[in-house]
Amino acid sequence: MSTPQPRPAVAPTPAVAATPARSGPSAPTAPYGGSPAPYESPIPIVRAHLGHALRAEWTKIRSVRSTLWTLGVFVLLVVGIGIVFAVAVGDRMGRDDRVTLFAFPGLLLGTICLLTLGVLVISSEYGTGLIRPTLTAAPRRDRVLAAKFLVFSAISFVAVLVSTGVVATATAAFASAEADLHWGRPALLASLYVSLLGMFALAMGTMLRHSAGAIAAMLGVYFLPTILPLFLVGIDATKDFGQKMMEYSAPSALSLLLSPDQDGNGLPQLGFLAFVTAAVVGCAFAVLHRRDV
């Protein structure tokens, strides 16, 4: 029986340090063993400006289904009610009546749609939490809010101008020969007035950040100057104040802008609304800067 022979000793193999695998291009090395050159991105860097914010806000507001529904209801109210009145009583218009007069009933109701849309332009982002990615992508808050105001005011202005123009054109076909057929200036002034109301609503949504609360507040701003004077004019101490409030209410201002008469042309009411809206918009910018989203 043979005995097992011992195995010869094997010298240990020296360990080789593992080199980590690197993906992608190697970092460029500077000549003569210096530090590597700084990395330069192949993607071109473009400085952001207001045009980018306007494009983003336009994309957001036109891609939301509620915008189309709200504007559709607005146009249907203004044009539908205006044409019905034009067909029914257009031949009874007097010498001082303008063809834009019949846009007033529908515009009085349709403005509520634009006020609601103005609030939702920003309050919906607060409700869904999308305001955080928006302000992360665009840290300039004043630029984002200015873009919202510009885009929404342009949309509301065009919507009112087109709707009023359609009503005026349709009314001219049924109006009597004594009616005033000039409608360009009244339509422009009424469009500006409603756009200012929409900007007021957008500023209210910015400050309150809650859709229901901001819409309720705007309905109060819109209707309270019309309802409250009915009680104030019955008291001697507040009679003058009630009459002045009714004079500067939205229904009174719109009726004078669409069809001026001997009582006025609506320009003082338009100027007053522009002043108040500018103050509220300034407050909205200040509040957005001071608080944490």
Q: Which of 49-58, 90-99, 129-138, 264-273 has the lowest mean pLDDT?
A: 90-99
- Predicted pLDDT at 266: 85
User: Is the pLDDT reported for residue 200 higher than 90?
Assistant: yes
Q: What is the CA radius of gyration of the chain?
A: 33
25 in any annotated domain: no
Note whether 118 and 207 are within 8 A (CB): no
- Predicted pLDDT at 238: 87
Closest C-alpha to 110, from 6, 251, 259, 268: 251
Identify the band that residue 6 occupies on the pLDDT scale cut at 50, 70 and 90.
Answer: low
Length of the chain: 293
pLDDT tens per residue across span 10-20? 555 555 455 55
**How far apart are alpha carbons 164 and 171 in whole angstroms?**
10
Structural domain containing residue 229: 67-290
User: Is the pLDDT reported for residue 225 higher than 60?
Assistant: yes
Both structure tokens of 92: 């009874």
29 in any annotated domain: no
- Structural domain count, the chain: 1
160 in any annotated domain: yes
Residue corresponding to tokens 């007053």? 272
The answer to whether the Cα torsion of 178, 184, 190, 194 is positive or negative is positive
- Predicted pLDDT at 127: 87
Both structure tokens of 87: 């067909």
**Could you tell me the pTM of the whole model?**
0.82
C-alpha distances in Å from residue 264, one per residue of 7, 195, 200, 259: 119, 21, 24, 10
87 in any annotated domain: yes
pLDDT tens per residue across span 256-273? 998 877 677 889 999 999
